């Protein structure tokens, strides 16, 4: 296990159903523009803010992340939410990561990455006020809209907008259309080998 005690890390959670090139490019933006040392991709066991549609298994979603980030030393993944089971809540994940990595430095808070489509719903997140105290909320631009006014302390990432979605990829697979360049070649081969999303 990499020692992350004094490292600046950002947690990028989601269903990753499947992980695609847009997720990876955003990871590079987090490192290059906000100076994070590592980005940890964490697949949700059961997402708390959206329903999984045509989901691949937790095991397969985790495997696709591992295939995508293989060889990129600043990208990590964790099965922490899958192992916990049940609905995945960000506050629980951050607390557990801080415990595992002995991260109690409030000057170097763990970054929590989420899309601008969730800003209006932040008040519904489990223990959102506590989450804001122990982490840094990082909003990524998905819809090319102006920054949304909110009562919460958010750092906005000026990320490149890659107009790719996991739902689009699943739809293309169902319609027997190519997914080249939307996911990595290793993920593409894995999807076809396991006959996912058909």
Band (3; pLDDT cuts 50, 70, 90)? confident
Which letter does DSSP use for residue 20 in this model? -
Is residue 189, in this structure, part of any structural domain at all? no
Q: Report the C-alpha gap between 40 and 136 in whole angstroms.
A: 14
What residues contact 65, with CB distance under 8 A and at least 6 apart? Answer: 16, 19, 41, 43, 77
CATH number for 127: 3.40.50.620
Looking at 19-23, 54-58, 165-169, 172-176, which range is the least confident one? Answer: 54-58
pTM of the model: 0.94
Helices within 47-108 (DSSP H only): 58-69, 80-84, 90-100
Residue 143 has pLDDT above 90, yes or no: no
Which letter does DSSP use for residue 57 in this model? P
Is residue 192, in this structure, part of any structural domain at all? no
- Secondary structure class of 186 (helix, strand, coil): helix
- Please give the residue range of the domain that contains residue 82: 9-161
9-22 pLDDT, tens per residue?
A: 999 999 999 999 99
Average pLDDT in the chain = 93
| Phi-psi map region of 118: left, alpha, beta (phi>0 left; psi -120 to 50 alpha) | alpha
Total domains, the chain: 1
Is residue 53, in this structure, part of any structural domain at all? yes
């Amino acid at each position: 296990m990499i020692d992350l005690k004094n490292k600046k890390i950002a947690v990028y959670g989601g269903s990753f159903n499947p992980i695609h090139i847009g997720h990876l490019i955003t990871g590079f933006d987090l490192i290059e523009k906000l100076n994070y040392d590592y980005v940890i991709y964490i697949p949700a066991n059961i997402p708390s803010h959206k329903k999984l549609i045509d989901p691949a298994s937790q095991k397969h979603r985790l495997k696709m992340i591992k295939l995508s980030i293989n060889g990129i030393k600043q990208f990590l993944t964790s099965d922490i939410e899958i192992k916990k089971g049940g609905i995945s809540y960000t506050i629980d994940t951050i607390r557990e990561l801080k415990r595992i990595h002995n991260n109690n430095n409030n000057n170097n808070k763990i970054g929590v990455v989420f899309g601008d489509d969730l800003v209006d719903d932040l008040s519904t997140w489990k223990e959102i006020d506590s989450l804001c105290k122990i982490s840094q909320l990082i909003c990524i631009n998905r819809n090319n809209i102006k920054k949304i006014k909110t009562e919460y302390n958010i750092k906005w990432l000026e990320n490149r907008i890659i107009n790719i979605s996991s739902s689009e990829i699943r739809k293309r697979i169902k319609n027997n259309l190519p997914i080249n360049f939307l996911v990595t070649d290793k993920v593409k081969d894995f999807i076809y080998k396991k006959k996912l999303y058909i």
